[in-house]
Amino acid sequence: MNSETKLVGLFGYPVGHSISPAMQNAAFRALGINMRYAAFAVEPSRLQNAVEGIRALRFRGVNVTIPHKVAIIPFLDELDEEAREIGAVNTVVNADGKLIGYNTDGKGYVTSLVRETGISLPEQAALVLGAGGAARAVAVSLARSGIGRLVIANRTERKAQELAERVAEYTETAAIALEKIPRYMPDVTLVINTTSVGMHPQVDAMPLEERYLRPGLVVSDLVYNPLETRLLRRAREAGAQVHNGLGMFVHQGALAFRLWTGTEAPVDLMRETALRQLKGETSEEGDEKESKGEWPKG
C-alpha cells in the first residue's frame, strides 16, 4: 500500500465468510494494478455514512452484498439500466465523486452458464426455482440476453408473479406455484435453482424432485457451498448436464473488476483462487498458506 493505492471493498453485514478479498487481490497482484480489496461489516443503520465514506476516502468503488443490495440505491447518484430492472446493486463505481450502481450478478451468471455449458439461450425453456434477490438478477439477465422462455416457480406464488412481470417485456414468461411444476416439466430444457435449498448445512435437501432429472436436461445451481449440491449430483447421475454456482461468483467479480479497472479480469486465476479459498487452502489475502491444515479466517 502507498499513497497511490486505490481501495475497493465489500459492504455487507456480516462479511466474515467472504472469498471476494482473496479473489480480487490475487487479480490485482497478477496484473500489477495498484489496488486493494477489503471487506467491511457495515451495520444497516450506518450504510449511508459508509457510502459517504466511498467519496471521502476516494475509494474506486465497492461490491455490495446482503443486506445492503436494495437499501444502498437511494444513496447513489446514478443507476445502470440492468441494475434498475433487477432492483438491486452489487457493484458501485466512484466516477470522480459520482457513485454509479451496477449489478453484475445476473450478467456474471449468464456469462458463466453459456461459457461452461455451451448452450444457446434462445433455444432454452428455463425453469427458475425461487423468486428472491438472486432469482431477480438471474431472470432479468437471462431475459435481456434472449432466453427462449422462462417459467418462474416459487413457494410464494405472488413473488413469482412479480418477477414474471419484471421480465415479461423481454421473453415469454409464466409464474407458477411449486405444485404446478409437473405440468411444465416436459418442455423444460434448463433448470436453475436460485433458492438456498441444498446449501450447507442442509445438504440433503433438493429443490426439485429427482424423477424430473433426465439426459438432455441442463441443471444449474447457484449454490457453491457445497460445489456439488445433491441436486447436481443426482442430475449428473441421471445423465443431465450440470453447472454449479462458482462460475457466477467468479464472473460477477470479474465484471466488477473490469468496471473498476477498465481491464479484462484474469478469470482463470480468479476461479482458481476462489476454489482454493473455498477449500481453505489460502489466506484472506489470497496468499498460499505456509502450514497445511490451517483454516481460513472468518
Which residues in this chain contact ligand ATR in the complex, by CB under 6 A?
Answer: 130-135, 154-156, 159, 194-197
Nearer to ligand ATR, 198 or 296 (CB): 198
Tell me the closest approach of the beta carbon of residue 138 to ligand ATR, in angstroms.
9
For residue 195, the minimal CB distance to ligand ATR (Å) is 3
* Inter-residue contact 77 to 101 (CB < 8 Å): no
In the complex, the smallest distance separating the C-beta of residue 152 from ligand ATR, rounded to whole angstroms, is 9
Q: How far is the CB of 269 from ligand ATR (least distance, A)?
A: 27
Annotation says 69 is catalytic: yes
Whether 104 and 79 have beta carbons less than 8 Å apart is answered as no
Identified catalytic residue from 6, 69, 159, 279: 69
Helix, strand or coil, per DSSP, at residue 152: strand
445502470: which residue's cell?
Answer: 80
d(CA 259, CA 256): 5
Query: CA angle, 104 as apex, 101 and 105 as ends, to 5°?
Result: 120
Helices vs. strands in the chain: H and E counts, helices first:
10, 12
Tell me the H-state helices in the chain: 20-31, 47-56, 81-86, 105-117, 133-144, 157-167, 181-184, 230-237, 246-261, 267-278
Nearer to ligand ATR, 69 or 276 (CB): 69
Nearer to ligand ATR, 104 or 194 (CB): 194
Of 207 and 266, which has the nearer Cβ to ligand ATR?
Answer: 207
Q: How far apart are CA 36 and CA 50, in angstroms?
A: 17
Residues involved in catalysis: 69
